[in-house]
Chains A and B, each alone.
Chain A
Amino acid sequence: MWQFIKKWFHRFGTPRWFYHTTSRWLPWLALVSIGLLVLGSIWGLGFAPEDARQGNSYRIIYIHVPISVLAMVGYYIMAAAGAVALIWKIKLADMVMVSAAPIGAAFTFLALLTGSIWGKPTWGTYWVWDARITSMLVLLFLYLGVIALNQAFTSRDTAYKACAILSLVGTVNIPIIYKSVDWWYTLHQPATIKLTGASTIHPDMLKPLLVMIVGFYCFYALLLILHTRVEILRRERRSSWVKGLIR
Chain B
Amino acid sequence: MLAFRHGNDFLNPLLFFVMTTSLVPLAISPAPTQLAIIAPGMIWITALLATLLALDGMFKDDFADGSLFQIILSPQPLWLLVLAKVSAHWLITGLPITLMAPLLGMMLALPQDGYLPLIIGLATGTACFSLIGAVGAALTVSLSKGGVLLSLIVMPLYFPVLIFGASAVQRGVEGLDYLPVLALLGAFFTFALLTGPFAAAAALKVGVNG
Binding site for B on A (CB under 8 A): 138, 141-142, 144-146, 148-149, 152-155, 157-158, 161-162, 165-166, 168-170, 172-173, 176-177, 180-181, 183-184
Contact = CB atoms under 8 A, between A and B. Distances in A.
B210 A165 contact: no
B206 A165 contact: yes
Interface string B144-155: 011001001101
B159 interface: yes
Contact of B210 (A142, A153, A184): A153
A180 B160 contact: yes
Interface of A is mostly: helix
B149 A148 contact: yes
A176 B155 CA distance: 14
Interface in B128-163: 132, 135-136, 139-140, 142-143, 145-146, 149, 152-153, 155-157, 159-160, 163
5 contacts: A158-B210, A165-B135, A172-B195, A173-B157, A176-B160
A169 B206 CA distance: 14
B120 interface: no
B168 to A, nearest CB: 12
Given A152-B145, A183-B163, 20 more contacts: A145-B152, A145-B153, A149-B140, A149-B149, A152-B140, A152-B143, A152-B149, A155-B210, A158-B142, A162-B206, A165-B202, A165-B206, A166-B135, A169-B157, A169-B199, A172-B195, A177-B159, A177-B160, A180-B163, A180-B184
Contact of B156 (A145, A165, A172, A183): A145
A215 B199 CA distance: 37
B188 interface: yes
Nearest to A184: B163
B206 A161 contact: yes
Interface residues of B, number: 30
Contacts of B132: 169
B203 interface: yes
Contacts of A177: 156-157, 159-160
Given A162-B206, A165-B202, A176-B188, A142 B163 contact: no
Contact of A141 (B136, B143, B155, B202): B155
A148 to B, nearest CB: 6
B44 interface: no
Contacts of A162: 139, 203, 206-207
B124 interface: no
A158 B143 CA distance: 11
Contact of A165 (B139, B152, B163): B139
A118 to B, nearest CB: 24
A187 B83 CA distance: 40
